[in-house]
Amino acid sequence: MTRTTKTAHMRMSSLFAPTLKEDPAEAELNSHRLLLRAGFIRKQAAGLYTYLPLAWRSLQKIEEIIRDEMNASGAQELQMPIMVDAALWEASGRFGAYGPELMRFSDRHGREFVLGPTHEETITDLVKDELKSYKQLPVNLYQIQDKFRDEMRPRFGLMRGRDFIMKDGYSFDANPAGMQASYDTMKDAYARICERCHIKALPVVADSGQIGGDTSVEYMALADAGEASLVYCDSCGYAADDEAAVSPLVVEALSANDEVTRVHTPNITSIAALAQFFDIAERATVKALALLDEAGSPVVCFLPGDHDLNEVKAEHLFGTYHLMDDDELKAYKLHKGFMGPVNLPDGIRIVCDTSLKSSAHWVCGANELDYHLTGVCPGRDFEPDTWADLVTVVAGDPCPHCGASLAGARGIEVSQVFQLGTKYSEAMGATFMDEDGKEKPFYMGCYGIGVSRTLAAAVEQYNDEYGIVWPVAIAPYEVALIPLDPKKEPCLSATETLFESLLEAGIETILDDRDERPGVKFADNDLMGFPYQVILGRRGLERGVVEVKTRATGERVEVLIDELVAYITKRVSAERDMA
């Protein structure tokens, strides 16, 4: 039977969704495993996947939510070529700088091109010839397109592909205030996109982490499988990548004694062993790390024993540095495991974490094999060269905004908003005539959403032991109609009538018309994760009822056949994306 309804529908007997009986061995993450098993994706080569019809439907729903929010915010959709002239990347200075992730190739004439991993160059080149006056600003343009990155380790299915779908958008403003306004609008729209896709995400300060402002935020979908490690504050909403996070951590007095005391600590070289030896918390010990800075000068850093040196912060302070190896330690007369700020060999800079500033009585190395000191006071027993923020913030540290204890979580970066300033417009000579008659470079912002990664993040957040559990807003179909005797009366007629009525009511329905055992059908429908299952069994039909199972909760209710469409419409429309 052919139908003319515009409501999306499908018969499972003809659906192209090859399911797998076993978990695919290569899949570590739930999202990867389930998307493969449930017949949503197939791999062509490392990091290259075909989106099969069910995945494609969900992806299109995500894209529609994005389009709706972008258009409502005044952004305009366009489509740029995926191939980009390498000359544009030369002009921006990124052709060399981007590195091996950039897919490069040449055409038959030997002209070099790249497959766009992102499109700042293309769009800046486009507008530079078209936007001439401040009167035409601001402009915000976006596209949804495949992007290409030759990732070092393509993995986790759609999470980190080499060809993936991205929404990328770019704003052009006349001045920093305009850029800030465009950025703020996008930041809000991105929060709503996560919400409408039912992605539980935190806006995480990505770069400076400065209090009171941000120039880049990443939306992190919370998931144990996420690659990013975050800290966030439940009281005030502060959230940051733990690499970028700052904290007003204060370490109180460490040891009780007020005098410097030399203690024999044979073979006590680790923080754990030191804490155990003195029967104190690791926080109450001081960790020392010796390094050579970019100029090759020796530095010893001192941090609270339970915190690690933050590589990003260290690079800001020391440039390209490296921790001293055993030979270098020897050359500077340093004793691994026994370094401290007192009696440090001459010429070595002492850099201490700010958290230790007000703490007297350090427990630290004695710069002598097998000895530690207790009761060491900064200012009295030694003078640091610098106090600096050195540590990676961890859960339990105080929030920089409100002081409450930070919580830790893992996240998947699904999107990012970024103030670019004039980086690309200056490099590429993209200017406009301002009100004062002067040529000025555009102030730009860029805004990216990983569309295919969002799909994977959703599965990561919505699954159980039986399969995927789609939120209605991005489910490939809203309802699965499951007759247990699809070929026999009265099941056959009841099924066709209900299918028709559901579609007429605008409910996206997939009919499992396969001649399979009920157990197989239940397993497949659970695996594919349609939000509602309407089950038609012979005994129920005799009583005029069908069973409705809510996939998310497993709850089952009997509903009168005559009331089914109204019941489903009510349930589904309450959870549907409301554009």
Tokens of 50: 């075909």
Phi, psi of 54 (to 5 degrees): -65, -45
Q: Residue 549: count other Cβ atoms within 10 Å of its Cβ.
A: 21
**One character per residue 454-493, x = contact with ligand ATP (rule: CB under 6 A):** ----------------------------------------
Helix, strand, coil % over all residues of the chain, rounded to 5: 30, 30, 40
User: Tokens representing 206?
Assistant: 């990505």
Please state whether 323 falls in left (phi above 0), alpha (psi between -120 and 50) or beta: beta
Helical packing angle, 491-504 and 564-575, nearest 10°? 40
Minimal distance in Å, beta carbon 327 to ligand ATP?
35
User: With binding defined as CB under 5 A, does residue 118 bind Mg ion?
Assistant: no
Per rule CB under 5 A, is residue 416 in the interface with Mg ion? Answer: yes
- Per CB under 5 A, the segment of 220-228, 308-316, 408-416, 499-507 that binds Mg ion is 408-416
Piece of the chain touching ligand ATP by CB under 6 A; list 324-332, 447-455, 541-549, 564-572 = 447-455
Answer with the entry of ligand ATP, Mg ion, none that 164 interacts with (C-beta below 5 to 8 A by kind): ligand ATP
Task: Return the closest-CA partner of residue 507 out of 540, 487, 530, 486.
Answer: 530
Binding part of the chain for ligand ATP, among 60-68, 76-84, 157-165, 541-549 by CB under 6 A, reads 157-165
Min CB(541)–ligand ATP separation in Å: 46
As beta bridge partners, residue 464 has 467
Q: Provide, rounded to whole angstroms, the least separation between the CB of residue 188 and ligand ATP.
A: 17
Q: How far is the CB of 444 from ligand ATP (least distance, A)?
A: 15
CB 69 within 8 A of CB 192: yes
Please, what is the minimum distance in Å from the beta carbon of residue 563 to ligand ATP? 43
Kind of pairing between the strands at 349-353 and 386-388: parallel
- Using CB under 6 A, pick the residue from 58, 171, 374, 416 that binds ligand ATP: 416
Q: b/e string for 271-294 if b means 16 or more Cβ within 10 A?
A: beebbebbebebbbbbbbbbbbbe
Answer for the pair 448, 166: CB distance below 8 angstroms, yes or no. yes
Which of these ranges, 192-200, 445-453, 494-502, 530-538, lies near ligand ATP under the rule CB under 6 A? 445-453
Give the residue with the Cβ less far from ligand ATP, 164 or 338: 164
Of 163-192, binders to ligand ATP (CB under 6 A) are 164, 166
Contact 144, 61 (CB under 8 A): no
> Which part of the chain contacts ligand ATP (CB under 6 A), choosing from 194-202, 304-312, 385-393, 409-417?
409-417
Rounded least distance, CB 198 to ligand ATP, Å: 16
Q: Which is nearer to ligand ATP, 216 or 367 (CB)?
A: 216
Please give the angle made by the CA atoms of 443, 447 and 453, to the nearest 5 degrees. Answer: 165
Nearer to ligand ATP, 414 or 510 (CB): 414
Query: Cα separation of 529 and 55, whole Å?
Result: 12
String marking each residue 266-305 x if it binds ligand ATP according to CB under 6 A: ----------------------------------------
Point out the residue whose Cβ comes nearest to ligand ATP: 450
Q: Looking at 32, 128, 160, 283, which residue binds ligand ATP (CB under 6 A)?
A: 160
Which of Mg ion, ligand ATP, none interacts with 118 (beta carbon under 5 to 8 A by kind)? ligand ATP
The CA distance from 242 to 231, in Å, is 6
374 binds, among ligand ATP, Mg ion, none (CB under 5 to 8 A by kind): none
The DSSP bridge pattern shows strands 112-115 and 103-106 to be antiparallel
**Total binding residues for Mg ion by CB under 5 A?**
1
3-state DSSP assignment of residue 296: coil
How far apart are the C-alpha atoms of 431 and 60, rounded to whole Å? 36
Q: What is the DSSP letter of 572?
A: H
Tell me the two tokens of residue 575. 């959870």
With CB under 6 A as the contact rule, the residue among 161, 226, 305, 483 that binds ligand ATP is 161
Q: Which two tokens stand for residue 460?
A: 């990561």
Binding-residue total with ligand ATP (CB under 6 A): 15
Upstream peptide bond of 138 is cis (omega within 30 degrees of 0): yes
Stretch that binds ligand ATP, among 67-75, 367-375, 414-422, 549-557 (CB under 6 A): 414-422
CB of 416 to Mg ion, least distance (A): 4
**Phi and psi at residue 40, in whole multiples of 5°?**
-95, -30
- As measured in angstroms, the least distance from the Cβ of 167 to Mg ion is 13
Instruction: Rule CB under 6 A: say whether 414 interacts with ligand ATP.
Output: yes
The pair of structure tokens assigned to 538 is: 């012979």
| Residue 413 is a binding residue for ligand ATP (CB under 6 A) | yes
Binding site for ligand ATP (CB under 6 A): 118, 149, 151, 160-161, 164, 166, 413-416, 448, 450, 452-453
Binding site for Mg ion (CB under 5 A): 416
